[in-house]
Amino acid sequence: MGRVGVLLLNLGGPERLEDVRPFLFNLFSDPEIIRLPIKGLQKPLAWLISTLRAGKSRENYRQIGGGSPLLKITEAQASALQERLIEMGREVSVYIGMRYWHPFTEEAIERIKRDHIKQLVILPLYPQFSISTSGSSFRVLEEMWKDDPYLRLTEYTLIPSWYDHPAYLRAMADLISTELDRSSDPDRVHIFFSAHGVPQSYVEEAGDPYQREIEECTKAIMNTLNRPNEYTLAYQSRVGPVEWLKPYTEDALKELGEQGVKDLLVVPISFVSEHIETLQEIDIEYREIAEEAGIEHFRRVPALNTHPVFIESLSDLVVKSLDEKPTTFDSIARPAENMKMYPQERWEWGMTSAAEVWNGRLAMIGFIALIIELITGHGPLHFVGLL
């Protein structure tokens, strides 16, 4: 069979404050994040959004130490996975490919080619599949396979999602149990699953299985946990003037506060590594919202990182995928070319808690102004020397 490799896929993150703006530019240049009817406008819009958001994003990263820990954690996961596979008698090399920052997926593929890998398992570190996460990375790889004669000779298989793997569920239940048992009254703690959101249109128009997989995953974790606690599922991290999966995390926290919930345990169900959305968004922003809503005890389950049972689940996934019929790119869900990815959410006037929605609206207004300025050669950006 030749040399075997495993490619771990993840989002990536800026390691230094000066990396934040180019990271955001890469993120918003992805048509699976923002899809425009005119492809030539993708990068100008990405430039505008990354410019508008860079200051706030840098401050967020400053609050967690000046950069994302995602790469270091992913490297530790890759090392632990490789060691476990060797223990299982599988001589496998593990590589890391990030979508929006170094080491990019393209860099990982170059290393894989240099190492003469002949059989490759492609494993996203997203338990649940979405067009905007695993799907986006698969799209990049598919184009590389089409264009590269060497890759076309490389056998590969995809692992689209693994949210229902028994060892993964046990690892999640173990982390939750550990945190519950630190409470004076564990059974009264309300478990709050916070998942990364996606636009509603992904599910309704493209058939993205993400929402279904998140809901099934939540139920499976609770069944594995086998505790009497009540629980809630909500969605975080929405951006732009569109409708995302509901309920939104900030709204659900306020509602639980109104219901008299005092003890809350947050579970970051979409994330297997600590990064900006756990360390800053949940630990700082959502904690403040919860406390203002009257929730007195706000705690969070840590991300899986290198939990041994989690690593066991990844190794089992790899071994089984090598012994089964390959899953190929053409079997993966994807949006139609003419799909409207961003239907307008109902407009609201005045100050609201949905700051990111307003950021998106202002970005679109600014984008129109930018296009006019690029055409006319006059405007505020020229005045201050940015154009």
- Binding site feature residues for Fe(2+): 196, 277
Structure tokens at 179: 């945190």
DSSP state of 278: I
Q: How far is CA 147 from CA 19, 124, 144, 269, 280, in A?
A: 30, 22, 5, 36, 40
Are the C-beta atoms of 213 and 128 separated by less than 8 Å? yes
| Residues in the annotated binding site | 196, 277
Q: How far apart are alpha carbons 319 and 317 in whole angstroms?
A: 6
CB count in 10 Å sphere of residue 350: 4
SS (H, E, C) 196-249: ECCEHHHHHHHCCCHHHHHHHHHHHHHHHHCCCCCEEEEEECCCCCECECCCEH
C-beta neighbour count of 37 within 10 angstroms: 7
